[in-house]
Structure 1
Amino acid sequence: MIEEGDDLIDEQDEPKETITRVTGMYKDWFLDYASYVILERAVPAIEDGFKPVQRRIMHSMKDLDDGRYNKVANIVGHTMQYHPHGDASIADAMVQIGQKDLLIDTQGNWGNILTGDRAAASRYIEARISKFGLDVVFNPKITEWQASYDGRRKEPINLPVMFPLLLAQGGEGIAVGLSTKILPHNFIELIDASIKHLQGKRFTILPDFPTAGIADFSNYNDGLRGGKVRVRARISQHDKNTLVISELPFGTTTSSLIDSILKANDKGKIRVKKIEDNTAAEVEILVHLPSGLSPDKTIDALYAFTNCESSISPLGCVIEDNKPLFVGVTEMLRRSTDNTVQLLKQELEIKLGEFEDQWHFASLERIFIENRIYRDIEEEETWEGVIGAIDKGLKPHIAHLKRPITTEDITRLTEIRIKRISKFDIDKAQQKIDALEDQIAEIKHHLAHLIDYAIAYFTRLKKDYGEGRERKTEIRIFDDVDATKVVIRNTKLYVNREEGFVGTSLKRDEYVADCSDIDDIIVFTKEGKMMVTKVDAKTFIGKGIIHVAVFKKKDKRTIYNMIYRDGRSGPSYIKRFAVTSITRDREYDLTNGNKGSVSLYFSANPNGEAEVVSINLRQAGSIKKLKWEVDFADILIKGRVSKGNLVTKYPIKRVELKEKGISTLKPRKIWFDETVQRLNVDGRGDLIGEFRGEDKLLIINQSGTVKTVTPEVTMHFDSSMIVMEKWVPKKPISVVYFNGEKEMYYVKRFLIEQEGREESFIPDHPNSQLEIVSTDWKPVAEVVFAKVRGKDRKENVKINLEEFIALKGISALGNQLTRDKVNQVNLLDPLPFLAPEEVHADELEVVDETEVSSSNAEDGGASKTNGNLDKDDEGQIKLFEN
């Protein structure tokens, strides 16, 4: 057994290592220090949500509070009477509280959480407790006190905070051996959750950040260890060459965000022309892009390679009973709400006692004066005699009192001045007693219905202080950004086919494509081998490279067509396959595996094209047919390990391309996932349609803009988007809008005139507003008229928009809907119409006039008219005949 202080030696008595055990005071010093840092500096208490320095700051501000602003330097100096640390730490903690705009009413330059600018020196800025802070934080009567660190003063053990303050402000600290990171939550949502808890209902609370932004809380894990929150900046497209960052992810500033963008640009991950920071009260960072760069891909690249997206790991750790407690935000809210109920109960009980004491003395005072008991003491010569005389005079009148009379009560009666006795008004005294009885009854009712009282308390807080505290951070589920799809191709890939090398340093050899340093490349050789490897300066693959390209993971559209000879003299096979997943740097054999196999023909087709090739055989023996054609379209697409179909058992002299083919793949189905606001080909969300290469997507926004775009999974969509569907070029768009300049409703129908360009179809006036938009062939609208004073409201009118106005240009004003005052316009179910069979967009024929008339006749519709609604002699709109 090794005793304390002994050296550890081996069996040969050769010293190898010395272990010195600490004893005495050294033994406890580290634990004492760790406990002090955890309890007194870094971690907030669950009872009031304050760290010790924050609690002492608020207590000092209450000491100094007279309704006016105080210099922060004065508050800091006063706090040092309670806090045994320097003024800098106190000032920094106070600035952090002030920037959260909840407990402190600030004046002066308190810094900017958006830009990261520091606050001015504490001698230049001022502060006072906010109305909310005075309302929910302080009540000396229910506060427990302790001696300050030097014993000269008293400070609160915990402040009686009657609100989930810790969750509203958030908290962060690093101690010895543990840390805490509690994210801020929304003021209104916390109150609603507290009310639900009191009502016995389930609730969920999620963080809300002062910097706004967008956040994915799907892995929040109730704020416990192991959870993760993904936060993103809000980025929108200002124009085709400019992006606007208008909200920041939590934990970043405009300075750190811009620095990360510049670093990514320097590394070649993204390409930026210029950055402008116009941030003032609101964030506005303009990111100018080089011409020809996709804004949608750049937005994803900003999320992938810069601080525009980051992840936060919450860790709910608080102090309870002088011990660290790891707890989720749901439990924190429950405990805070339950603590608020108990504090409200204590407050009511104290008020009840005060009112009962007031009622007791008011009743004694009335008895004392009304029955002129004060005259009984005129002949008494001793104090004991005075007390006894008053006590004797009161006894016949005190049956209704709620507690016995004490000497202190009688002493107070003797202190009543003669002037008060002479002016005593019995009616007013009784009114005061009645008012006190009402207040006592009210408090007893609150105590009997404590939960209802607490709910009313939280409801009042929401009403008084909730204005302007709505949620800032948008809750959304993020899709994962594939960095390889959005990274800028900042380097060039080369190949030396004969020697079998590929890489970015082979600048004297054949150029392949632009690539990035995070890309994978796929390589095929003459021997029928395939390998996928990381982009590098120079990599040996194998001699006889026949194809090299940047590899796309999970790519089912790129189809490889191949004809190979099995072995040195074996038969030849044909196969078609895709490469969707592989193991990097592993060599795959695409032939049957026999030695001497060779690839006779190979092509890579990005959209599954199937060409026609000519097979030429060598002259041997009695072969009659030496040449014929093979169409790859006749070959099924299978896995890369398949053997393939037999082409011939005879030796092939050569294979020649006869005719380029068309795609044999089905049109690509595209879905829109409302949850993440992104397109996908994985079947998530609502199916938009089947798209060929030339098909476009039609997008209409509430602002009155329309555009057609090629659908890509990297696209971003504006929150004001109201229409997204597959575009049929000859299908009209019908619109009813309010013209702000003319203050009238107008109708127009138009076709898209310029593909790929965003165009506005309502006048550029602040009051112009899109009312309804329809992409149906024969839409129907309902006009609801407003009530005019002195007249009966006109009946609703149905309008066939296809008959109401002919097709016009997208910039046309349209036709006036009506001169009568309109309340609203509703879109109804369209009329039946046999749409042309959907084929390729460029093959769709315009329906001629006779076909339209015929269709209308079958539907029972009237003939096409132009202009305003037809009116009779009295100006009444004619009803549409169904």
Structure 2
Amino acid sequence: MQDNQESIKKVSGMYQEWFLDYASYVILERAIPSIYDGLKPVQRRILHSMRELEDGRYNKVANIVGNTMKYHPHGDMAISDAMVQIGQKELLIDMQGNWGNTYTGDRAAASRYIEARLTKFALEVVYNPKTTKWQPSYDGRNKEPVDLPIKFPLLLAQGVEGIAVGLSTKILPHNFIELIDASIAHLRGKKFQVFPDFLTAGSIDVSDYNDGLRGGKVRIRAKISQEDKTILKITEIPFGTTTGSLIDSVLKANDKGKIKIKKIEDNTAAEVEILIHLVPGSSTDKTIDALYAFTDCEISVSPNACVITDQTPEFLTVTEILTHNTNNTVKLLKSELEIELNELQEQWHFSSLERIFIENRIYHDIEEEETWEGVISAIDKGLKPYIAHLIRPVTEEDITRLTEIRIKRISKFDLDKAQQFIESLEEKIENVRHHLANLIDYAVEYFKSLKVKYGKGKERKTEIRTFDTIDASKVAVANTRFYVDREEGFIGTSLKKDEFLFECSDIDDIIVFRADGSMIVSKVETKTFVGKGIIHIGIWHKNDKRTIYNMIYRDGKNGPAYQKRFAVTGITRDKEYDLTAGNKGSEVLYFTANPNGEAQVVSVILKTHQRIKKLKFDLDFADLTIKGRASKGNLVTKYPVKKVELKEEGVSTLAPRQIWFDPEVKRLNADGLGILLGSFKGDDKILTINKKGEAKLVSFELSNRFDEELEIIEKWKPNKPISCVYYDADKDKYFVKRFVLEDTLSPQTFFGLEDDKSSVKVISTDYLPVIELIFPKIKGIDKEPEVINLEEFITIKGIKAQGNQLTTYKVKHINVLEPLPFEEIEEIEEEIEDDQQPTLFDRIEEDSNDENSDSE
């Protein structure tokens, strides 16, 4: 009875054992790659099987899959899918037939219709049976590699993704050439850094890559360009997406009202081409931002570098993986050299024995011997006087090989040729020993040779750049109508029978002011109660310092009146704020919201009072300093106010806005990042000139985008001329022109030659630009360089003018010199006295006890 009890196992214990066994199997044998060769077991078995079948010709993939099944204990579909994934990485497998499309996500044809063979790169770096460790296959009938002796950081080049039990791995692919350069840098003891690179191109922000370790992330964007005013073109897509999934995300964003498009076309074939047709009047810049914010045109990927090291999963950085792979390559190269050295020495040893055996006619010594032992003994005795210089003792096996030499070979033996062959072996031995003594230099040359032989066409495809942060609320299309029920105190998108206010986005925040001097900010909802006595409702943006609220209120039921100007930059949603002094019965007498800091002049009319002679006086809000929303304000009057009337619309009291251009993200900002373009107000514009010969004036809206062709960006001054030197290939002449732009937002072309050889040589916005012409030798004689002041050389003409010929001589090069000094007349702005000029950045005084605690 006791024995029976001891044999009983709890079900929970059995499940625990089985689960651990299953988890270990999935981790080690299916999902996670080895750090040594960077391959999962199925990938390793496919490559081993392909090497078995390799004869230089293409093999049907179905045949390769069938041969692999004797090593891989899973179905043929798993093998063929894994093989297609290897092939689509365009490194190890030379493909023929329809292997699918990584852009569109189309699947490969059936394995019986497509063919494959190993690439020359794979044959050189992946295989060497002499340095391969072997193990029995799953059924014991065959042998398979434990790891393939790959002499290259293949894991980082191809990337890998896998989900096991309890853990996963995601290693992004990196650039072939950059990995080789990094390996060389490591061998030289230098620091290195590598970043992901994708066959689908696009652009990538690696600011938070964290060296590929868990917790890091990269942002990947499609390449979007403006085809014309109503068409955007996508030519590169983010890694991990397809044209189909990207288009679906765009259509879904359109259906939700995040963006507005007319239609979308997919013209993808060998290259990606997706055309997005916009509705008339749409902003292309804002739509591009919205595509990045709401669709798969921008995705975020979190790497997770998990690998198998000595039968144990381990989380490493990309730097650690590359270091390990490079060191392993050196180890494998050393093993190959040692094997080669041993083989050469053995070859030298027997060649020397053979020469001694034939040259000294030792084979005659065995003519009288009748036994095998006698033959061996006779040859051994005959060799002894001549073998002192050999590198190892002569064995019975060596003597046996000598007896196997044919008579024909002995009769035709050439001592000179034999000696030359031995000397060539000695040179090879010396060369291998030199490589072993200078192993690091040998490894560096090995990596350099890989770069030369296989690096062509493997340049970086994905552009590394810093992305701008897009505020979704600023680029979301106004996709819903917003209403108010003033009588009951409700706001929302579902109150369609009540008063319509404006169109907004469903991710906007709404700010509400009430007659009792209170304020609240809430998200856009279908219906929200905000209280009665609503006097103003608007869309609120966090950190908006340019919207200034002007207010006059009565403090308490019979208290004095105060006036204040304030901005609302930070709040806690759905929290009520009191904008008055806090006494019960307070009431707002006058209120305006001013998106550009406008300050009105108002008339204050007092109630009749025996002590007051003047019952009406004017107030100018421009005289008031902008303070925090919690400030009490300035006293207007201690007498009762009958009403406040608008007397004069105000103008902005905010200082001109300083705008910077950040060349890293190609965007404007007001945060001091990049190059200061100047102070802007009103209708001021920015001048941009690209490399194609097109000038364009744009507003200073921060949502504007600028492409990679940008050559010049600065604040536009209407009377400042632009100078251009260009080469006309058809006429084989250089021309120079100077012109000013018209005040229009349409592009203005000043260089219209479209042949490949014509080009713009110099573009300058200096008042007095100076260039230097360098000439080639004329009949062997040097011609002195010529310095030209372009302002004196040509007057200002129309933008379409051909211009003047620059020189009659051939030009070798044009240098742009420092411009001549020019005293520019600054625009004189009407000044306001210091105590009457409330500027935005100098005068907003936030209440520290309120703003800091409430800011999100």
TM-score for the superposition, normalised by structure 1:
0.92
Q: How does 1:455-494 map to 2 (within 5 A)?
A: 455-494=444-483
Contact 1:753 1:810 (C-alpha < 8 Å) held by counterparts: no
Deviation at 1:686, TM superposition (A): 1.7
Q: 1:504 to 1:839 in 2, by over 3 A?
A: farther
| Match status 1:331 vs 2:328 | no
Who is 1:771 aligned against?
761
Who is 1:220 aligned against?
209
Match of 1:751 among 740, 745, 755: 740
| Match status 1:391 vs 2:385 | no
Q: How does 1:117-266 map to 2 (within 5 A)?
A: 117-266=106-255
Q: Which has the higher contact order (CA 8 A, sep 6+)?
A: 2
- Paired AA for residue 69 in structure 2: M
Who is 2:568 aligned against?
579
SS of 2:531 mapped into structure 1: coil
Match of 2:278 among 289, 314, 317: 289
- Paired AA for residue 349 in structure 1: E
Superposition CA RMSD, Å: 1.5
Single out whichever of 761-770 and 328-337 deviates more from structure 2: 761-770
Contact 1:564 1:599 (C-alpha < 8 Å) held by counterparts: yes
| Match status 1:739 vs 2:716 | no
Contact 2:728 2:753 (C-alpha < 8 Å) held by counterparts: no
Deviation at 1:26, TM superposition (A): 4.6
Deviation at 1:276, TM superposition (A): 1.1
SS of 1:738 mapped into structure 2: strand
Who is 1:803 aligned against?
792
Contact 2:718 2:743 (C-alpha < 8 Å) held by counterparts: no
Who is 1:861 aligned against?
none
Deviation at 1:492, TM superposition (A): 1.2
- Paired AA for residue 761 in structure 1: F
In 2: Cα distance, 1:473 partner to 1:838 partner = 45
Percent identity between matched residues is 68
Deviation at 1:25, TM superposition (A): 5.2
Match of 2:104 among 86, 101, 115: 115
Q: How does 1:373-452 map to 2 (within 5 A)?
A: 373-452=362-441
Match of 1:661 among 614, 629, 650: 650
SS of 1:735 mapped into structure 2: strand
Who is 1:690 aligned against?
679
SS of 1:218 mapped into structure 2: coil
SS of 1:204 mapped into structure 2: coil
In 1: Cα distance, 2:753 partner to 2:245 partner = 37
Who is 1:844 aligned against?
none
- Name structure 2 gaps, 5 residues minimum: 831-856
Contact 1:741 1:765 (C-alpha < 8 Å) held by counterparts: no
- Paired AA for residue 213 in structure 1: G
- Name structure 1 gaps, 5 residues minimum: 7-19, 842-882
In 2: Cα distance, 1:440 partner to 1:475 partner = 47
Deviation at 1:840, TM superposition (A): 7.5
Contact 2:552 2:589 (C-alpha < 8 Å) held by counterparts: yes
| Match status 1:786 vs 2:776 | yes
Residue-by-residue CA offset, 1:331-381 (whole Å, 9 max, x unaligned): 111111111111001000000000001101111111111111111111211
In 2: Cα distance, 1:355 partner to 1:337 partner = 27
In 2: Cα distance, 1:511 partner to 1:325 partner = 60
Residue-by-residue CA offset, 1:530-563 (whole Å, 9 max, x unaligned): 1111112222222221111111111111111111
Deviation at 1:162, TM superposition (A): 0.5
In 2: Cα distance, 1:261 partner to 1:453 partner = 52
SS of 1:436 mapped into structure 2: helix
SS of 1:832 mapped into structure 2: coil
SS of 2:238 mapped into structure 1: coil
Deviation at 1:754, TM superposition (A): 4.4
In 1: Cα distance, 2:730 partner to 2:223 partner = 33
Q: 1:27 to 1:680 in 2, by over 3 A?
A: closer
Who is 2:637 aligned against?
648
Who is 2:536 aligned against?
547
Deviation at 1:505, TM superposition (A): 2.2
Deviation at 1:501, TM superposition (A): 2.2
Q: How does 1:700-715 map to 2 (within 5 A)?
A: 700-715=689-704
Q: 1:779 to 1:338 in 2, by over 3 A?
A: same
Who is 1:44 aligned against?
33
| Match status 1:311 vs 2:300 | yes
SS of 2:661 mapped into structure 1: strand
In 1: Cα distance, 2:483 partner to 2:813 partner = 64
Contact 1:5 1:21 (C-alpha < 8 Å) held by counterparts: no
In 1: Cα distance, 2:593 partner to 2:521 partner = 15
Q: 1:186 to 1:5 in 2, by over 3 A?
A: farther
Residue-by-residue CA offset, 1:434-470 (whole Å, 9 max, x unaligned): 1000000000011111111111111111111111111
In 2: Cα distance, 1:685 partner to 1:24 partner = 64
Residue-by-residue CA offset, 1:24-81 (whole Å, 9 max, x unaligned): 7555211111111111110011111111110100000000000000000000000001
Single out whichever of 814-823 and 121-130 deviates more from structure 2: 814-823
Contact 1:179 1:317 (C-alpha < 8 Å) held by counterparts: yes
Who is 1:563 aligned against?
552
Single out whichever of 346-355 and 149-158 deviates more from structure 2: 149-158
Deviation at 1:764, TM superposition (A): 3.0
In 2: Cα distance, 1:242 partner to 1:740 partner = 32
In 1: Cα distance, 2:404 partner to 2:749 partner = 85
- Paired AA for residue 26 in structure 2: V
Q: 1:765 to 1:501 in 2, by over 3 A?
A: same
| Match status 1:349 vs 2:338 | yes
Residue-by-residue CA offset, 1:214-253 (whole Å, 9 max, x unaligned): 1111111111111111111111111111111111111100
In 1: Cα distance, 2:72 partner to 2:120 partner = 25
Q: How does 1:74-113 map to 2 (within 5 A)?
A: 74-113=63-102
Deviation at 1:498, TM superposition (A): 3.5
In 2: Cα distance, 1:723 partner to 1:492 partner = 41
Contact 1:740 1:765 (C-alpha < 8 Å) held by counterparts: no
SS of 1:124 mapped into structure 2: coil
Contact 1:499 1:544 (C-alpha < 8 Å) held by counterparts: no
Contact 1:171 1:184 (C-alpha < 8 Å) held by counterparts: yes
SS of 1:135 mapped into structure 2: helix
Deviation at 1:618, TM superposition (A): 1.3
| Match status 1:605 vs 2:597 | no
Who is 1:818 aligned against?
807
Contact 1:216 1:229 (C-alpha < 8 Å) held by counterparts: yes
- Paired AA for residue 614 in structure 1: S
- Paired AA for residue 490 in structure 2: F
Contact 1:750 1:809 (C-alpha < 8 Å) held by counterparts: yes
Who is 2:511 aligned against?
522
Q: 1:214 to 1:839 in 2, by over 3 A?
A: farther
Deviation at 1:529, TM superposition (A): 1.2
Who is 1:872 aligned against?
none
TM-score for the superposition, normalised by structure 2:
0.95
In 2: Cα distance, 1:826 partner to 1:535 partner = 59
Who is 2:622 aligned against?
633
Who is 2:836 aligned against?
none
In 2: Cα distance, 1:369 partner to 1:317 partner = 61
Deviation at 1:692, TM superposition (A): 0.3
In 1: Cα distance, 2:442 partner to 2:805 partner = 58
Deviation at 1:791, TM superposition (A): 3.6
SS of 2:599 mapped into structure 1: coil
